Every structure is written in C-alpha cells, then in structure tokens.
Structure 1
Amino acid sequence: MITRLSAAGFTAAVPALGEVLADCTNGGASVGFLAPLGTAESTAWWAELAGDVAEGRVLVWAAWDGPRLVGTVQLRPARLPNAPHRAELAKLLVHRDARGRGLGRALLAEAERAARAAGITLLVLDTETGSPAERLYRSAGWTEAGTVPGYAADPGGTLKPTTFFYKNAVVTAG
C-alpha cells in the first residue's frame, strides 16, 4: 500500500525512512550519501525535512509492507514565481529486501498522478547513469535531457555520470 505522509505521519515515519535510506545507500544506490551510512545520520537527514513537509514544500509518499515502511518517494514543487508548473522527483527508494515487487514503479506512478492532480505539468529528476533507477525511468516514459560526467559521487566516493530526465504531464480535470 502507498500513502502520502501527513506532517504527523512523516514525523512518526522518520526512523523507518532513515532505515530505508541507509539500506539503499549501503547497497550501492547513489542518492546523495556515502557508505557506510548509519541510521542515525540518515534519520537525522530525514528529520531535517519535517518543516518542509509540514509546509508542503516537500511531499513524501511511503510504500508499506503491512506495518513496515519499505519504500518512499518525494515530490519537490518548484518555489520560484515562474515555475509553479514544475516539480522535482527525488529520493525514490525501496529497501533491498522489498525489491522486485513493483514498489518503485508504483511509487513513481503515484507521485506522477499526484503531480498531475496538483496542476504540475513538468517533472524533472536526475539519477546515476547506468543504474537500475535509470532503466525504471526510461521504461516509465521519462525523456533523457542529457548526461553530465562526474556529477556526483557514488556511495563508494567514485565520481559517476548523472543523467537528467524530464516528463511532461497532461493535467486531468477532477
């Protein structure tokens, strides 16, 4: 099941979100952190987002396996006056032991649906070139905008290329 986290729900989920982030990073996902990543550090990173979540600057969804949070995705609407139509998709994460069940694709689809419902017509994201995430985005209809060599370090600290993607969304009524 996938749910959007309210401010209170987000706060309650921060320890589980920290566990998912640490697991993904320590498993090789290039999502902005270096390995080894401890749960104290990853939980603290999530906790720092509480104000942004409460103010609607960051929207967070969680994928659940019963009572256990096993995946997440963020939508970050642009805050500039000339960009209310745009948002960044970020931190699409699925715990390693929950992969292979379509949770990443389901989280992606839910964030895209919510963006359309909110009137957002352009989504952007970046991901490590050649990663499983890149294959997911391509198969979900995202368009490559370009690749920047040496853009970010992978969890082991090696600089890797990053591919930027966008997806135009048609806003549906209702």
Structure 2
Amino acid sequence: MPQLDIIALDGASTTTLLPELAELLRACVHDGASIHFVLPFSLEQAAAFWRDKTLPGVASGGRVLLAALLDGRLAGSAQLDCDTPPNQPHRAEVCKLMVHPDCRRQGVARALMREIEIQARNRQRALLTLDTASGDKAEPLYLSLGYQEAGHIPGYAWDGRGEKLQGTTLMYKTL
C-alpha cells in the first residue's frame, strides 16, 4: 500500500517544490480540471501561479499550502486562504484542491481535505467556503465530507478548454 503524507509547506519548501507544483498544476489543467486556467497552459504559466500568487500568501502566513506526497512524490495539493476581512476572522476559503491525474482514486483528495479542516481549526476558523464547477468530479467528494450547497451561479467561468461557460456551485461547511 502506498505511503501518503500530507505536509504544510512554508515559503522555503514551496520554493523548493516549485518545479513539482508547476507540473502538478499543468497536468491537472491539461486533464480538464476547472481551477481557473484555460488551455493552452504552459509549465512557465503554472510556475508563475505558484511563485506570484501562492507563495506571497504562504510566506506571510495568510495562506496554508498543503502538499500530498504519495511514496515521496508530489501527488496533490490544497490551499486554505485565511486572509479574510476583519469582520470574517471565523472563516476561511478552501482553494485549488488538485490531485495529479496519475494519483487519483487513492484517497489523496480526501486526505488533503481532512488536513485542511485540521489547519482551519488550528487557526480558529469555524466556517469553510469553496466553489467548484457545477457537476465536476469534486462536487460529490465535498458533499460526502459534509459540505452543503449554498447556491449555483450559471455561466460563471469558461471551462478549461475555453469552449463554453460553465456554472459554479458555492459550498460551505461549519466545523
């Protein structure tokens, strides 16, 4: 049975893992994941996302970045955005849950989400929110973890191929 470890990355470890994180993101986008990017999507664009959008929040402490290591190989990641306005110190947003296409159906996403909840509780966050493409593979996972649907917005974003608009489902969970 493969060994699965979930670790929280700091700024230095995020920088060290940048090539693997970029490959993870590129592979997920190329596999059709609806995580805000549209094809064509290069490895350089993926690296820029981690370096320019994620790393500053991780370094400042406002964002938690989890890495899932399956037998030592980066298999997935998830983020928890705790950089909320002053009137919302009790909540956080789950962002960019992704599992490499070669590592799916092995409990990686579920393990990342369990650790996201632990990280949220450790930061006194009692409400988690997220959005996911309506009808996406991740929607049943979130429901099975106790997330509830708050609503649906049609035509929210282009699909990963840039071919059609798709809706998003807003979800939440009280911890």
Normalising by structure 2, we get a TM-score of 0.94
**1:139 matched residue in structure 2:** 144
Give the count of matched residue pairs: 169
Instruction: State the 1:66 CA deviation.
Output: 2.7
**Structure 2 unmatched runs, 5+:** none
Considering only aligned residues, what root-mean-square deviation do their CA atoms show, in Å? 0.9
Instruction: Check the 8 A contact 1:75/1:87 in 2, yes or no.
Output: yes
**1:44 matched residue in structure 2:** 48
Instruction: Give runs of aligned pairs for residues 66-77 of structure 1, distance below 5 A.
Output: 66-77=71-82
Measured against aligned partners, the alpha-carbon deviations of 1:51-100 in whole angstroms (never above 9, x if no partner) come to: 21110111100001233211000000142110110100000000000001
**1:164 matched residue in structure 2:** 170
Instruction: Check the 8 A contact 1:78/1:86 in 2, yes or no.
Output: no
Instruction: State the 1:50 CA deviation.
Output: 1.8
- Give 4+ residue runs of structure 1 displaced > 2 Å after superposition: none
**Structure 1 unmatched runs, 5+:** 170-174
CA distance in 1 between partners of 2:88 and 2:16 (Å): 31
Match of 2:58 among 53, 70, 82: 53
**1:112 matched residue in structure 2:** 117
Instruction: State the 1:14 CA deviation.
Output: 1.4
Instruction: State the 1:22 CA deviation.
Output: 0.8
Opposite residue 75 of structure 1, the aligned amino acid is L
CA distance in 2 between partners of 1:135 and 1:65 (Å): 23
Corresponding position: 1:99 with 2:89: no
Instruction: Check the 8 A contact 2:9/2:65 in 1, yes or no.
Output: yes
Instruction: Check the 8 A contact 2:63/2:83 in 1, yes or no.
Output: no
CA distance in 1 between partners of 2:15 and 2:101 (Å): 23
Identical positions, percent: 43
